[in-house]
Amino acid sequence: MPTHKEVKLAHYVRIVVMDLSRLDGLRGCGGAGFPAAFKWNAVRDEPLVGTPEMGGGKVIVCNADEGEPGTFKDGWLFREQPEVVLRGMQRAAEFAGAARGYVYLRPEYVDQLESLKTAIASLVASGILSEGSGALWAGAGFAGRPAKPHDTGLDDVALSALDWFVEHGAKGLQGSKTEHGGLATGHAFGEGLAFPLTPRRSDPVEPASETGFAFRVDICIGGGAYICGEETALLESMEGRRPQPRHKPPYPTQAGLWGLPTLMNNVETFWWAERLLSGEFEGEGGTHRLYSLSGDVNQPGVYEAPVGITAQELVDQFGGGVKDGAEVSCWIPGGAATGVLPGSLLSTSLSSKGLKEVGTAPGTAAVVIFAKRDPRDVAANIMQFFAQESCSQCTPCRLGCRAVASWLSGSTAFPDADTEERWLESMELGSICGLGFTAPLVLRLWRRWFSESGVVV
């Protein structure tokens, strides 16, 4: 006989038997590339403690912070196909036995917020999401970031370019200055934006019924910090604290939001999960990606293409070629964190294997093309951005990003160290999260493929 606790929990959640074999090849699309099915199974296997109405249970979180420079495919998905992403979250909830879900949304994505709210209302009316879904909450950011409502008239490419601008006048994607993004403010998102998000809510999840199960999705507006792309920093922001990465273990799948087992995936990951599990996409998981293509191309945008496509093919077949037929001086293969490559490597396959051969990785699949731009200036811009956005928790990252940015901007040597390599190794070994231990890749690629003058080696 089931215990009283088991009966009560069954009133709120339902764990559905689901074949995840179609997700076998699907890796997270937020940058790290972690196997999606592993996370889903890990959260499913965690014991369920407490009830959703008392702040217990399991949680699904959709990471829509999308702060990686050059990346805007998640923003496109939430404007064009938010229902598919939400259905992917709902499938994850059914599989893992979760009753609550949250979308952590980038603060500049105000238009996407409206599309998301409309989609949530539609799914509530259809009985797929629980009544009351769609409440707005505010996440914590960093003190000192300028608080601004969203800029009007910016498309996805321009929004992504905002991240290239640092407070002290660094140049941007195309070499001109502009205002950069900032902390979310209530008046930019309408009334009812509350802070902080709390585990015990007066508006509980509606219990399961014969026709469905209880799954409520609410929205948390990010605080304007790049570091919130890291999943544990995002959780800290949601809980109202300074967004700094947590030490692991425990991992979010074990103890995430409020210490509850938490399944967190990127927007595109949930989108692919729904398409694969519903049979809408007939191929295997991991064979295609959404590419954010921008920079000096005639047709920047979001394109679905095979993972094995080369950068040159992506530019020619989808991007309409390089503007004015110019020669490509350098390019970024998967967002700023994947560094800068010379134009001579455009024939590289945009796959894990292909990019590993040239010293980098697919990242967020954000390809940025530069013509007539100094590669060293581009690399310096990236490091200036990282120096600004470091949460400063780890000394190697806090000091190292500044040192690398300074050197790439014209300094002749690294301060207080025998070699550049000692700086890079300290960052890689002494940083908690991916910002600190991947930032050295920018300089490593520079040393491998360019000389100090910026000429291809």
What is the pLDDT at residue 207? 54
- Return the higher-pLDDT residue of 143 and 65: 65
pLDDT band at 182 (very low <50, low <70, confident <90, very high): very low
Residue 260, pLDDT above cutoff 70: yes
What is the pLDDT at residue 343? 96
Do 255 and 311 lie in a common domain? no
Overall average pLDDT of the 141-153 stretch: 47
Do 215 and 332 lie in a common domain? no
Do 312 and 225 lie in a common domain? no
Tell me whether residue 283 is in a domain: no
What is the pLDDT at residue 201? 53
Do 30 and 154 lie in a common domain? yes
Domain count of the chain? 2
**For the chain, what is the mean pLDDT?**
82
Do 308 and 274 lie in a common domain? no
DSSP per-residue string spanning 4-41: HHHHHHHTT--PPP---GGGTT-B-SSSS--BHHHHHH
Do 257 and 331 lie in a common domain? no
- 10-19, 96-105, 315-324 — which is least confidently predicted? 10-19
pLDDT in tens, 91-129: 999 999 999 999 999 888 888 999 999 999 999 999 899
Tell me whether residue 299 is in a domain: no
- Return the higher-pLDDT residue of 253 and 31: 253
Do 320 and 251 lie in a common domain? no
Query: Domain span at residue 388?
Result: 304-449
Q: How far apart are CA 437 and CA 431, in angstroms?
A: 6
Do 269 and 332 lie in a common domain? no
pLDDT band at 222 (very low <50, low <70, confident <90, very high): confident
pTM exceeds 0.85 for this model: yes
Helices (H), 162-238: 231-238
Residue 55, pLDDT above cutoff 60: no
CATH code of residue 444: 3.10.20.600
Tell me whether residue 137 is in a domain: yes
Do 201 and 56 lie in a common domain? yes
Q: How many CB atoms lie within 10 A of CB 341?
A: 26
Overall average pLDDT of the 137-144 stretch: 72
What is the pLDDT at residue 148? 42
- Return the higher-pLDDT residue of 167 and 373: 373
Beta-bridge mates of residue 369:
295, 331
Do 80 and 158 lie in a common domain? yes
Close Cβ partners of 145 (under 8 Å, ≥ 6 residues apart): 182, 183, 223, 224, 225
Tell me whether residue 404 is in a domain: yes
